[in-house]
Chains A and B, each alone.
Chain A
Amino acid sequence: MITFFEKIVALLDEWGYLLFQGTLLTLGLFASALALQIALALAVGLGLISRNKIIRILCTAYVEIFRGLSTIVILFWAYYALPFLGVKLSAWTAAVLGLALSHSAYMAEYIRSTIQAVPKGQYEAARVLGMNDRQRMRYIIFPQALAAIMPLFGNELVMLLKATSYASLITLSELTEAGRSIVVRTFDALPAFVIVLTIYYLIAQALIFLNSLIELRISFWRTSEGIDRANAKRNSRLLKPKNLEVRR
């Protein structure tokens, strides 16, 4: 009688390289799509709050179209339909483009809403302090919006990771496809899928953890400890003999 655990070990022993390759491909896909997604989302998200009406309309159309389409439809369209328009993309390029396009629309919307959610008083205070538009954005609005967007960003990371599994539908042999091909060859579904699910789970948990670390770092000055430390720093600077002399 072979136990379930032994089955998993045997499977890892025989097909481990396939799963490893699949995991690497999934991670690569995730990283490429994420980089492109952030770039696109920043451009579109800032375009959504632009003063220029034409830019605003274009960006709104972008968000509405790519949020309305499902990621799978975009992937299929990019891989199967685009060649008929004379553009031949590899499965990898189509997957990265499709994932980034559809998920950047969501993220652009997050960026817009968090920037607009910064209280109006902050804008007015920055204006009163004589900051120009660029300074106001750079030193007042953006840090607060960044702190507010981090939890949403963590959610989005997991969503993107899960969406990379759609790439298996356009013949890319990433983790999901690796798992499926093992099942097709071994006729034993449960252990293979348990391993695949566990790998996805671990990656997702690692992403959430990393995101929470960055979140802590970014919003440290908002916590009481951060405020205490900032005050202590300022006081120690004020109390230095050199500074005291200047005051006298």
Chain B
Amino acid sequence: MKPWFDFAFALEILPRLLSATWISVVLAVLSFALAVVFGVVLLLLRRVKFKLVGRSVGAFIEFIRSTPLIVQVYCLFFVLPEAGIILDPYTTGVLGLSIHYGCYMSEVFRSGLDSLPNGQRDASTALGFSARDTYLRIIVPQTIPRILAPSGNFLIYLAKSSPILATIGVAEIMFIAKDIGQENFRYLEPMTIVGIIFLILSAAGARCIRFAEAAFGRNWNQKEVPYV
């Protein structure tokens, strides 16, 4: 009779799982960076003067946000080749994650911008700032500390939903864990290790967010008004 939790086996498979963790983390960070870019693009498109564009972008965001990520990833994975675009699973996965979370990010940015008091815009107009300077020097620096916490949450959500890429053949942590389980017919150890790794990762992520908030938020919110 084997012990319930075989520590020797767990130690044996640990290196493989850790190297897969690395892949997962890189995928998540890459997707998040793309999601931020995509979110900004969607935000700008939503503010286009031509109403139809803004409305349809809004509807698109709403649609993506209320349908499951996994179906969207399947959609990309099966439909793109039919359209003649052949991408490897990694690219498809990153694309799927970044589109899905890009929509969330654009909502985060939008609420961050909307939460800024209108007086800030009025004041910079009164001071004769150009539109570009208003955004780059007044609006954006004040928005960043407000959106740090929700953005960080979405980074953690993104990392936590990345295991679904295993279904389209991305060799990330869950894929490797399932593989090990099938090879040795022991699922308990790999799955438990994956759980522990996820706990550590999300705790570390939460710590990083708190750190970023402390670093950015304080500097920008409480900067002294220079006397000129």
- Residues of A bordering B, CB below 8 Å: 65, 67-74, 76-77, 80-81, 83-85, 158, 161-166, 168-169, 176, 179-180, 183, 188-190, 193, 196-197, 200-201, 204-205, 208
* 23 A/B residue pairs, CB under 8 Å, sorted by A: A68-B198, A68-B199, A69-B199, A70-B159, A72-B160, A76-B163, A76-B178, A76-B194, A77-B192, A83-B187, A158-B65, A162-B66, A162-B69, A164-B68, A165-B68, A166-B164, A169-B70, A183-B74, A189-B82, A197-B67, A197-B71, A200-B66, A204-B66
Starting from the known contacts A72-B160, A180-B74, 15 additional A-B residue pairs (CB-CB under 8 Å) come to A73-B174, A74-B195, A76-B177, A77-B194, A84-B187, A166-B70, A169-B70, A176-B74, A189-B82, A190-B79, A193-B71, A193-B79, A197-B75, A200-B66, A205-B66
Q: Using Cβ atoms and an 8 Å threshold, which residues of chain A touch B188?
A: 81, 84-85
A80–B194 alpha-carbon span in the complex (Å): 13
The number of inter-chain residue pairs (CB within 8 angstroms) is 115
- Residues of B bordering A, CB below 8 Å: 4, 63, 65-72, 74-75, 78-79, 82, 159-161, 163-164, 167, 174, 177-178, 181, 186-188, 191-192, 194-195, 198-199, 202-203
Q: Are B195 and A77 in contact (CB under 8 A)?
A: yes
Q: Are A70 and B192 in contact (CB under 8 A)?
A: no
A80–B189 alpha-carbon span in the complex (Å): 10
Q: Are A84 and B78 in contact (CB under 8 A)?
A: no
A169–B162 alpha-carbon span in the complex (Å): 13
A165–B174 alpha-carbon span in the complex (Å): 17
Q: Are B79 and A65 in contact (CB under 8 A)?
A: no
A74–B174 alpha-carbon span in the complex (Å): 12
Contact pick for B68, options A76, A176, A208, CB 8 Å: A176
- The answer to whether residues A201 and B174 also contact, given A70-B198, A76-B191, A81-B187 and a CB cut-off of 8 A, is no
Give 3 closest A-B pairs by Cβ, nearest first.
A70-B160, A189-B78, A204-B66
Q: Using Cβ atoms and an 8 Å threshold, which residues of chain A touch B203?
A: 68
Q: Are A81 and B192 in contact (CB under 8 A)?
A: yes
Q: Are A69 and B74 in contact (CB under 8 A)?
A: no
- The answer to whether residues A72 and B164 also contact, given A77-B192, A84-B4 and a CB cut-off of 8 A, is yes
Q: Nearest A residue to B6 by beta-carbon distance?
A: A84
A193–B72 alpha-carbon span in the complex (Å): 8
Measured CB to CB, the closest approach of chain A to B193, in angstroms, equals 10
Q: Nearest A residue to B81 by beta-carbon distance?
A: A189
A189–B174 alpha-carbon span in the complex (Å): 25
Q: Are A165 and B160 in contact (CB under 8 A)?
A: no
Q: Using Cβ atoms and an 8 Å threshold, which residues of chain B touch A180?
A: 74
Q: Are A176 and B71 in contact (CB under 8 A)?
A: yes
A70–B78 alpha-carbon span in the complex (Å): 25
A20–B66 alpha-carbon span in the complex (Å): 19
A200–B66 alpha-carbon span in the complex (Å): 7
Q: Are B187 and A179 in contact (CB under 8 A)?
A: no
